[in-house]
Amino acid sequence: MKTFNRNLYQKLENSGLTRIDIAKQFGLPIQTFYRKLKKNKLFFKRPFHPNPFTPIFSSQLSYICGVLLGDGSVYKYQRKKSKKWVYFLSLTVRNQSFAQEFANILSKIFKRKMKVFKISLKTGRIFYRVITASKEFFEWFQTKEKFKITKLFPKEFIQGFYDSEGSCTYNHRKYKLKIYTYYMFRLSNSDYYLLELIKKLLISSFGVKSKIYILKTVKSKMLDGHWLIPTKNIYNLTVSQHDNDKFIELISDRRWSYEGLVHEVQKASRDERSQRSKNEKWK
């Protein structure tokens, strides 16, 4: 299909696809596709309208702050032609459920429906992005006011940060001819003082003990054909294994995170059964 259809374009745009992906659907080069948009007066239909923001402390805002301090970003840049500064907050992740949940909560704060945009790279990797513009939110986020909300809504803040920077791993240990599976919950970030704040919130509000470790052997890795060389130390906040049940209860009402955790537990149990069968064969 190499013909442009206005109605089909509007349907694809409402579905959350980027213009690059829509151009692929039509089978048109991107420059030709842009000319079609200008001809049909659709090129300027998707601007980033600034959203007014009033800092009202709530559980939703606490969750958003936790996410943005992790994988999210709040930034500004200057346009080349107009020389005006524009202010954005965005989240780009590979988990579609996470991006959709972030967009739903962000919609309640700004009282405007947020879309999840699909980004397809040439390497085949797929990302999902939520982005909106707000100068008021940018200015508020630069202050220390965002940390005051953690005392009022610590649970939602930790949930947002775990959704963004958390991970669950498991391992097997053999003791007296029995195999035991143990889980480790980690929160990773380059900001040590932020992890120290979360550590205090865990112990004071939920009685969950944790420790912070530094990853001394950080190696460069290749991503999408480019070498990434870390310039900062990465720190891990590891939850005590004795308090795993408390931490699971803390994050259990986040549906997509809990489903991912259940998947890891089921995978660990399958590995444990296979390991036991191997041991029985060796006997």
pLDDT along the chain (283 residues), means of 10: 75 74 81 80 56 82 93 88 86 90 91 86 87 90 89 92 85 68 83 92 93 72 60 84 86 58 53 51 43
The domains located in the chain, with CATH, are 1-46 (no CATH), 48-148 (3.10.28.10), 155-282 (3.10.28.10)
Contacts of 199 (CB under 8 A, 6+ apart): 210, 211, 212, 237
Instruction: Write down the pLDDT at residue 43.
Output: 61
Q: How far is CA 86 from CA 74, 77, 133, 167, in A?
A: 11, 6, 7, 33
Instruction: Write down the pLDDT at residue 265.
Output: 54
Instruction: Write down the pLDDT at residue 85.
Output: 87
Instruction: Write down the pLDDT at residue 169.
Output: 78
Q: If DSSP codes are grouped into helix, strand and coil, which group holds residue 121? A: coil
What 8-state DSSP symbol labels residue 248? Answer: H
Instruction: Write down the pLDDT at residue 219.
Output: 60
Query: If residue 188 lies in a helix (H) or strand (E), which one and from where to where?
Result: strand 178-189
pTM: 0.72
Instruction: Write down the pLDDT at residue 121.
Output: 81
DSSP per residue, 15-33: TTB-HHHHHHHHT--HHHH
Determine the Cα–Cα distance for residues 33 and 23; give it in Å rounded to an integer: 6
Closest by alpha carbon to 170, among 157, 185, 158? 185
Instruction: Write down the pLDDT at residue 7.
Output: 81
Instruction: Write down the pLDDT at residue 202.
Output: 94
